[in-house]
Amino acid sequence: MDVHDFDFDLPEHLIAQTPLLDRTASRLLVMDRQNGEVSHRHFRDLVDELEAGDLLVLNDTKVLPARLIGTKEDTGATIEVLLLKEIGEDRWETLVKPAKRVKVGTVVTFGDGRLQAKCTAIGEQGGREFAFMYDGIFYELLDQLGQMPLPPYITESLEDQSRYQTVFAKERGSAAAPTAGLHFTDEILDALRDKGVKIAFITLHVGLGTFRPVSVDSIEDHTMHAEYYVMTEETAALVRKTKATGGRVIAVGTTSTRTLETIASENGGNVVAASGWTSIFIFPGYAFKAIDGLVTNFHLPKSTLLMLLSAFAGREPILAAYEEAVKEQYRFFSFGDAMFIRPAKRKERD
């Protein structure tokens, strides 16, 4: 398939720059997976959309304050370092700006020398490997010196850094937030539990490779970057029980989806406790094995995330829903509104 088959026109003013004061106040476009019909609600109405016996699977990864602004030791030039993935003890894969100033052996200092990093290898597209040197505890220094790594399409500053973190974030390691989860509050999760909806967590540490544009014409030629995931036996057992009793598994976000589908694909359709690296690329033609419904944000044109949605609910219905979202002035991307791709109700599935 051609990457341009997943393009759409998005007015720039619809790209949300700041989060709403109330996480649950976002709008919710509900799309029926069976017939493509669309309705307009608010995110708090998700409680009404789910049924007792459903299972909601969320990603509990925690975003690192991974954006560091430092100075080049020998010249004093300003260098930005974005931590992507820990590859060894005090060694990280990073993105650097301006990359041309950083060569093997370059030392960058942060926080008046409290943290130093030496470039040990050069990668692709501004990628660098760094060995970090410091006294104390690395993550405490990172909390003091780092900034949240907001996507490049967000140009306004974020006053409350916690708003780029889900309320259930627990396992640190992401370079970007699993943004579908940003709409949830403890209160809405409690309301879902009170209704009989089960809540479970997986961990997938989001890397920037997920959001990189597809640079080839044929999507079959695109390669995804690997991301680390963990599925506990507790969550795996809940998925199996939900399936066995006719309930619906609802993934929150494409990261939860990719984790569930990776494990199911590697285990004959079964969901089991597992951990490892996934580079699964889901696009039209893929047969879903684990999830029945999906809560997600609105994604970039020609992105792998939009391709995943198209695989789940059909390219034409998804693009029609996006056209409706643009017409109705929905807010797009990380701090934007949400979409629920609704599966058939339980009684309709029986």
The overall average pLDDT reported for the chain is 94
Is residue 274, in this structure, part of any structural domain at all? yes
Q: Are residues 299 and 327 in the same domain?
A: yes
Q: What is the DSSP string of 155-177?
A: -S--S-GGGGS-TT--EEEESS-
Is residue 221, in this structure, part of any structural domain at all? yes
CA angle 178, 179, 182 (to 5 degrees): 110
pLDDT tens sequence across 155-195: 888 889 899 999 999 999 998 999 999 999 999 999 999 99
Q: Are residues 42 and 86 in the same domain?
A: no
Is residue 349, in this structure, part of any structural domain at all? no
Q: Are residues 85 and 178 in the same domain?
A: no
Q: Are residues 199 and 132 in the same domain?
A: no
- Distance CA(145)–CA(129), nearest Å, equals 19
Write out the residue range of the structural domain in which residue 141 sits: 67-147
Strand-strand pairing, 78-88 and 91-97 = antiparallel
Q: Are residues 84 and 27 in the same domain?
A: no
Domain final position from 91, 123, 147: 147
Domain final position from 117, 147, 177: 147
Q: Please tell me the predicted confidence (pLDDT) of residue 345.
A: 82
Total domains, the chain: 2
The CATH number linked to 272 is 3.40.1780.10
159: CB partners within 8 A, 6+ apart: none
Is residue 52, in this structure, part of any structural domain at all? yes
Q: Are residues 79 and 102 in the same domain?
A: yes
pLDDT tens sequence across 94-133: 999 999 999 999 999 999 999 999 999 998 777 899 999 9
Is residue 155, in this structure, part of any structural domain at all? no
pLDDT tens sequence across 39-57: 999 999 999 999 999 999 9
Is residue 165, in this structure, part of any structural domain at all? yes
Average pLDDT over residues 262-291: 97
Is residue 314, in this structure, part of any structural domain at all? yes
- Distance CA(305)–CA(219), nearest Å, equals 12
CA atoms within 13 A of residue 218's CA, in its CB half-sphere: 2
The CATH number linked to 111 is 2.40.10.240
Q: Are residues 191 and 295 in the same domain?
A: yes
Higher pLDDT, 22 or 350: 22
Q: Please tell me the predicted confidence (pLDDT) of residue 84.
A: 87
Q: Are residues 74 and 57 in the same domain?
A: no
Q: Please tell me the predicted confidence (pLDDT) of residue 157.
A: 83
